[in-house]
């Protein structure tokens, strides 16, 4: 058994960012639990052809670890993975890492006021638990009749099968989101034919950017102030971009016009152009960046099916428009379980309720970070912590800083941080009020930002990064209860038990 002050689950940007914040706050008693064999999260798992970030590289990193060596305006996936490995080494976190250690359950022990975490390598007992599990970790596999019977190579974009040689094959791609717009141009160069199933088109704007020369990288390395200035400029550009994504009429009209001009310039056929034109408000779904997707679709190497995939019959794919398409391989670029986080089923709070049950009507929190009924628990990249206009790393840094700050306050509050349910409810109402008139709620699309169970915006923060920083800055501790809660009856069994089938069960008596 391992005993620590803070257990961090996940070693992607959120987990590593939390470790950095704790260390800066003078808190050294922590461990990073990572189920995979290396750090990196999303950027370890996604290795599909063309994978890259759509946030400028010099903004997509920790402020405390600028990287002068980025290859260009937008970093490739493997570069970001390598960057996180270097940050771990620079911060001296290797001895805190527990790789190959998956969280299997986590229970709040009210009697001893600790979290007991069952992992694949043993039990960890911690005063505080940080869930830095990421929101883009569990692939969403659509329920399609006959999908499991498809005889050829079949995989999700986040689990790319590099052993499958797709050169010259007829490849079906399901989805036209952020992954698909990077994958399709790559497949169009090598596959015999690409058949792309589009449930709804995306708003796509020019990506632009370019590569950095050796001289550029040398200058960044020798003049760190230039990197600071570049990051500041990119930050300001991102904050300005919020207006067009959130429904400002003038900004949205200008951005939409740019997107339509981009489409017209790259797709000559009016019928194809019409099929690629969204019928919902700009910003309602994630706005994508690409200079290669439209030319690939227009090239003849890609057959666009403006309909969802409805069934699989052998090597034949049936679309909802009644068309039938023969393929040799199938790639699912269908996104992730985002509004229903898989880890939530594994976490039990002080009243015997799972986090999933607490979130049965959609994720809720105070400050997008702490949750009522789950003492000394912090969730990063969870409720209303995503952005549609800038770098998610900026949000992670603010959440990690908040967690480190309130953990220090815990020493003077009886040792336990219990979120006041009224504070969580008030914050949830704040989010709903801010989101009410935005395109995410009124734009006429179905998006992954809104939880279909409640119709609430549960993934996005409906404001700027500056506004989020200010909101957490106003958190003065009044979000936590001052009176201890009663210990649940029957106590707590700290040792996990085995069921008759050998499966681990929770330690609640």
The pLDDT value recorded for residue 340 is: 82
**What gap in Å lies between CA 473 and CA 401, rounded to an integer?**
10
8 Å CB contact between 334 and 180: no
The whole-number pLDDT of residue 228 equals 96
Is residue 181 situated within a structural domain? yes
Structural element, H or E, at residue 233: helix 224-246
Q: Residue 161, CB half-sphere, CA atoms under 13 Å: how many?
A: 13
Spatial CA neighbour of 378 closest among 88, 87, 35, 15: 15
In a domain, 81, yes or no: yes
Which of 277, 312, 332 terminates a domain? The answer is 332
Residue 299, SS3 per DSSP: coil
- The predicted-structure confidence for 281-326, as pLDDT tens digits, reads as follows 999 999 999 999 999 999 999 999 999 999 999 999 999 999 999 9
37-73 residue pLDDT tens: 999 999 999 999 999 999 999 999 999 999 999 999 9
Burial state string for 181-213 with b = 16 or more CB within 10 A and e = fewer than 16: bbbbbbbbeebebbbbbbbbbbbbbebeeeebe
pLDDT averaged over every residue in the chain? 93
For residue 496, the model assigns a pLDDT of 40
Return the C-alpha torsion angle 39, 42, 48, 52, nearest 10.
-100
pLDDT in tens, 334-382: 998 777 888 999 999 999 999 999 999 999 999 999 999 999 999 999 9
Give the C-alpha separation, 150 to 71, whole Å.
39
Query: 363 with 315, same domain?
Result: no
- Residue with structure tokens 């200035």? 229
Distance in angstroms (rounded) separating the CA atoms of residues 174 and 171: 10
Question: Is 350 found in the same domain as 327?
Answer: no
The per-residue pLDDT for 484 is 63
Answer for the pair 157, 179: CB distance below 8 angstroms, yes or no: yes
Whether 382 and 441 share a structural domain? yes
Residue 202's closest CA among 323, 301, 54, 318? Answer: 54
Percent of the chain topping pLDDT 70:
94
Asked if residue 438 belongs to a domain, the reply is yes
- Domain end, chosen from 307, 332, 357, is at 332
31 and 131 belong to one structural domain: yes
Residue 495 confidence class, pLDDT cut points 50, 70, 90: very low
Domain boundary among 332, 348, 378: 332
Verify that 192 and 108 share a domain, yes or no: no
- Contact between 119 and 102 (Cβ < 8 Å): yes
Q: pLDDT tens, 13-31? A: 999 999 999 999 999 999 9
Number of domains within the chain: 2
Return the pLDDT at 57.
98
Residues 112 and 183 in one domain: no
Q: Does residue 32 lie in a domain region?
A: yes
pLDDT, tens only, 426-462: 999 999 999 999 999 999 999 989 999 999 999 999 9
Q: Does residue 509 register a pLDDT over 70? A: no
Whether residue 435 lies inside any domain: the answer is yes
Pairing of strands 309-313, 316-319: antiparallel
- The CB density around residue 367, as the number of other CB atoms within 10 Å, is 25
Nearest partner of 414 among 369, 372, 458, 376, judged by Cα: 376
Residue 332 and residue 340 in contact, taking contact as beta carbons nearer than 8 Å? no
Whether 9 maps to a domain, the answer reads yes
353/395 same-domain check: yes
Are 458 and 373 in the same domain?
yes
Q: What is the pLDDT of residue 147?
A: 97
**137: confidence class by pLDDT, cuts 50, 70, 90:** confident
Q: Within this chain, do residues 407 and 429 fall inside the same structural domain, yes or no?
A: yes
> Is this structure's pTM higher than 0.75?
yes
Whole-number Å distance between alpha carbons of 163 and 44:
17
The CATH number covering residue 187 comes to 3.50.50.60
Identify whether residues 132 and 67 lie together within a single domain.
yes
How do beta strands 302-305 and 193-197 pair? parallel
Rounded Cα distance, 383 and 367, in Å = 9
CA distances from 336 to 212, 324, 340, 448 (A): 32, 26, 9, 9
Same domain, yes or no: 328 and 267:
yes
Report the Cα 65 to chain-centroid distance in Å: 21
Same domain, 398 and 261: no
Is 218 part of a structural domain of the chain? no
Residues spanned by the domain of 12:
2-138+337-498
pLDDT at 412: 59
Label the pairing between strands 329-332 and 302-305: unpaired
Cβ(304)–Cβ(295) under 8 Å? no
327 assigned to some structural domain: yes
| Closest of 181, 166, 190, 159 to residue 328, by C-alpha | 166
As a whole number of Å, the CA-based R_g of the chain is 23
């Amino acid at each position: 058994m391992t005993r620590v002050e803070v257990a961090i689950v996940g070693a992607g940007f959120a987990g590593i960012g939390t470790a950095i914040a704790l260390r800066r706050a003078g808190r050294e008693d922590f461990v990073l639990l990572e189920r995979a064999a290396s750090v990196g999260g999303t950027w370890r798992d996604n290795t599909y052809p063309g994978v890259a970030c759509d946030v400028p590289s010099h903004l997509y990193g920790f402020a405390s670890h600028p990287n002068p060596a980025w290859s260009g305006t937008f970093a490739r996936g493997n570069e970001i993975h390598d960057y996180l490995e270097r940050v771990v080494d620079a911060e001296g976190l290797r001895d805190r890492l527990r790789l190959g250690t998956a969280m299997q359950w986590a229970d709040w022990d009210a009697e001893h006021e600790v979290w007991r975490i069952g992992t694949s390598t043993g039990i960890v007992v911690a005063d505080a638990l940080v869930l830095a599990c990421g929101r883009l970790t569990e692939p969403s596999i659509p329920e399609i009749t006959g999908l499991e019977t498809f005889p050829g190579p079949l995989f999700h974009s986040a689990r790319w099968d590099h052993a499958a040689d797709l050169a010259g094959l007829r490849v079906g791609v399901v989805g036209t989101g952020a992954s698909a717009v990077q994958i399709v141009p790559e497949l169009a160069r090598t596959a015999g034919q690409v058949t792309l199933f589009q449930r709804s088109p995306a708003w796509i704007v020019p990506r632009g950017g370019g590569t950095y020369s050796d001289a550029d990288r040398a200058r960044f390395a020798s003049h760190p102030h230039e990197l600071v200035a570049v990051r500041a400029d990119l930050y300001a550009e991102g904050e300005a971009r919020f207006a067009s994504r959130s429904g400002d009429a003038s900004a949205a009209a200008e951005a939409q016009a740019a997107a339509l001009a981009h489409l017209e310039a790259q797709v000559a056929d009016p019928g194809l152009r019409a099929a690629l034109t969204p019928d919902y408000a700009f910003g309602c779904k994630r706005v994508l960046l690409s200079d290669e997707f439209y030319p690939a679709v227009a090239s003849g190497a890609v057959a666009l099916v403006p309909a969802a995939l409805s069934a699989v019959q052998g090597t034949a794919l049936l679309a909802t428009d009644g068309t039938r398409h023969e393929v040799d391989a199938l790639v699912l670029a269908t996104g992730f379980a985002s509004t229903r986080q898989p880890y939530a089923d594994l976490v039990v709070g002080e009243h015997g309720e799972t986090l999933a049950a607490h979130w049965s009507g959609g994720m809720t929190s105070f400050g997008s970070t702490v949750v009522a009924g789950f003492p000394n628990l912090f969730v990063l990249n969870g409720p209303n912590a995503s952005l549609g206009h800038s770098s998610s790393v900026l949000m992670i840094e603010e959440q990690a800083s908040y967690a480190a700050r309130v953990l220090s306050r815990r020493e003077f509050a009886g040792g336990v941080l219990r979120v006041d349910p009224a504070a969580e409810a008030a914050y949830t109402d704040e989010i709903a009020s801010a989101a009410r008139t935005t395109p995410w709620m009124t734009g006429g699309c179905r998006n992954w930002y809104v939880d279909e169970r409640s119709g609430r915006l549960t993934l996005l923060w409906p404001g700027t990064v500056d506004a989020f920083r200010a909101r957490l800055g106003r958190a003065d501790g009044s979000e936590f209860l001052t009176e201890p809660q009663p210990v649940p009856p029957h106590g707590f069994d700290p040792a996990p038990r085995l069921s008759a089938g050998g499966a681990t069960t929770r330690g609640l008596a």
